[in-house]
């Protein structure tokens, strides 16, 4: 199978591409410097020439805070860029996987969101990702929308690494305990999206199983790593951010179908893998 990946140099892309290659797929890795998704002529030329069986669209504007000030840029990437990719996926009848987010929801639910739940984003990032979902559904017949959440991976700035660094620097750490979601490792997301390929096209929730708050997530990181940290729970109201976050963005699939491990086991896999990465070579 020939797979074209956009955003291949991002946190997800850098784990995804070697994983697909290990499955025996032929992977064409593209990023901003090789395929600017906002340039339709480039997208058209490359997708027509390469003619991939599958396009995994990871490229995105992902800075949730900055998107509050840069709505036009966020729209250009997440809506226009996604539309460009979806049009071409539709034209060559390729399958397309679009990575979306729990931030499409407003967080007012008290029960987990199903893929059929109505999105109502409360920040610009969530809005642009939702508008991107609509473009995918409009232009591409063979689509999967894979909504994930609270993503962390070896190749990106992420919450787990931030917590470990702050604790190692003996900094006091305040973390909100009134936002509930599903922390997800890139490796769990990747395994979940490859499972989608055997399922009917549509929207799926590809976050880790279970739920927690950011504060409990931090506590679990320190417990698993055996780190003593000066950790205090705070309320979102005390921790001012430009972008509002949903208070509750737990997502499940129809019939509670599980595509991933629970978040604690995924975290322990991640912590083990980062140790291997950080081991000195040749001793
Ligand atoms: N991170 C999370 O917590 C999270 C949560 C839910 C969903 N998601 C979704 O998961 C996907 C992957 O996220 P990630 O964390 O891996 O993001 P990331 O690390 O920010 O990677 C995004 C990639 O897109 C590239 N890009 C930017 N502008 C581009 C353009 N015009 N054309 C082509 N590529 C461009 C970036 O390149 P440069 O670095 O050169 O700009 C970067 O390599 C995204 O769709 C994101 O919305 C992420």
* Cβ neighbours of 218 (radius 10 Å): 26
CA angle 31, 152, 188 (to 5 degrees): 90
What is the model's pLDDT at position 175?
97
* 246 domain residue, yes or no: no
* 163 domain residue, yes or no: no
What's the whole-number mean pLDDT along residues 6-16?
Answer: 98
Domain that includes residue 15, residue range: 2-151+185-208+251-261
- Percentage, residues of the chain above pLDDT 90: 96
| pTM of the entire predicted model | 0.97
pLDDT digits (tens, 9 = 90+) for 170-225: 999 999 999 999 999 999 999 999 999 999 999 999 999 999 999 999 999 999 99
What's the whole-number mean pLDDT along residues 55-62?
Answer: 98
The CA 61 to ligand 1 mean position distance, Å, reads: 6
240 — pLDDT class (breaks 50, 70, 90): confident
* Cβ neighbours of 151 (radius 10 Å): 22
125 carries an active-site annotation = yes
What's the whole-number mean pLDDT along residues 121-143?
Answer: 98
* 120 domain residue, yes or no: yes
- Percentage, residues of the chain above pLDDT 70: 98
What's the whole-number mean pLDDT along residues 29-55?
Answer: 98
* 239 domain residue, yes or no: no
Supply the mean pLDDT for the chain.
97
Closest CA to 155 of 186, 184, 183: 186
DSSP annotation of 262 reads: B
* 176 domain residue, yes or no: no
* 145 domain residue, yes or no: yes
What's the whole-number mean pLDDT along residues 227-235?
Answer: 97
Q: Which residues contact 255 (CB under 8 A, 6 or more apart)?
A: none
In the predicted structure, residue 2 carries a pLDDT above the cut 60: yes
Pocket of ligand 1 (CB under 6 A): 6-7, 9-13, 31-32, 35-38, 58-60, 62, 77, 81, 99, 101, 129, 148-151, 156
CATH (domain of 126): 3.40.50.720
Closest CA to 182 of 111, 117, 262: 262
What is the model's pLDDT at position 130?
98
Asked if 129 and 151 count as a contact pair (C-beta separation under 8 A), the reply is: no
Closest CA to 152 of 91, 200, 218: 218
pLDDT digits (tens, 9 = 90+) for 69-103: 999 999 999 999 999 999 999 999 999 999 999 99
* 266 domain residue, yes or no: no
CA 161: distance to chain centroid?
Answer: 16
Q: Which atom of ligand 1 is nearest to the CA of 63?
A: 20
What is the model's pLDDT at position 278?
72
What is the model's pLDDT at position 281?
58
* 53 domain residue, yes or no: yes
What is the model's pLDDT at position 106?
98
**Which member of 125, 139, 152, 215 is catalytic?**
125
275 — pLDDT class (breaks 50, 70, 90): confident
What is the model's pLDDT at position 280?
62
What is the model's pLDDT at position 12?
98
276 — pLDDT class (breaks 50, 70, 90): confident
Kindly give the pairing relationship between strand 212-213 and strand 180-181: antiparallel
φ/ψ (deg, to 5) at 108:
-90, -5
Distance CA 71, CA 64 (A): 10
The answer for 226, left when phi > 0, alpha when psi is -120 to 50, beta otherwise, is: left
φ/ψ (deg, to 5) at 28:
-100, 115
For the chain, the domain total comes to 1
Mutation test residue for ligand 1: of 15, 59, 70, the one with most atoms within 8 Å of CB: 59
């Amino acid at each position: 199978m020939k797979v074209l990946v956009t955003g291949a140099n991002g946190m997800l892309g850098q784990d995804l591409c070697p994983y697909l290659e290990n499955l025996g797929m032929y992977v064409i890795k593209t990023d901003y410097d090789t395929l600017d998704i906002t340039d339709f002529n480039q997208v058209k030329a490359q997708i027509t020439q390469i003619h991939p069986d599958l396009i995994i669209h990871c490229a995105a504007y992902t800075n949730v805070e900055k998107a509050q000030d840069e709505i036009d840029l966020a729209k250009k990437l997440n809506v226009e860029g996604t539309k460009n990719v979806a049009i071409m996926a539709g034209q060559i009848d390729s399958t397309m996987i679009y990575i979306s987010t729990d931030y499409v929801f407003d967080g007012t639910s008290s029960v987990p969101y199903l893929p059929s739940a109505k999105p109502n984003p409360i920040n610009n990032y969530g809005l642009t990702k939702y508008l991107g979902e609509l473009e995918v559904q409009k232009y591409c017949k063979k689509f999967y929308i894979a909504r994930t959440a609270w993503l962390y991976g070896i190749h990106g700035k992420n919450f787990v690494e931030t917590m470990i660094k702050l604790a190692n620097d003996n900094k006091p750490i305040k973390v909100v305990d009134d936002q509930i979601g599903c922390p997800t490792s890139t490796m769990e997301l990747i395994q979940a999206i490859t499972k989608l390929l055997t399922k009917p096209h549509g929207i799926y929730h590809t976050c880790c199983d279970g739920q927690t708050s950011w504060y409990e997530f931090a506590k679990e990181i320190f417990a698993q790593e055996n780190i003593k940290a000066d950790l205090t729970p705070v309320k979102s109201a005390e921790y001012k951010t430009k972008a509002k976050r949903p208070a509750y963005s737990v997502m499940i699939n129809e019939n509670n179908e599980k595509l991933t491990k629970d978040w604690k086991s995924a975290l322990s896999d991640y912590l083990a893998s980062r140790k291997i990465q950080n081991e000195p070579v040749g001793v």
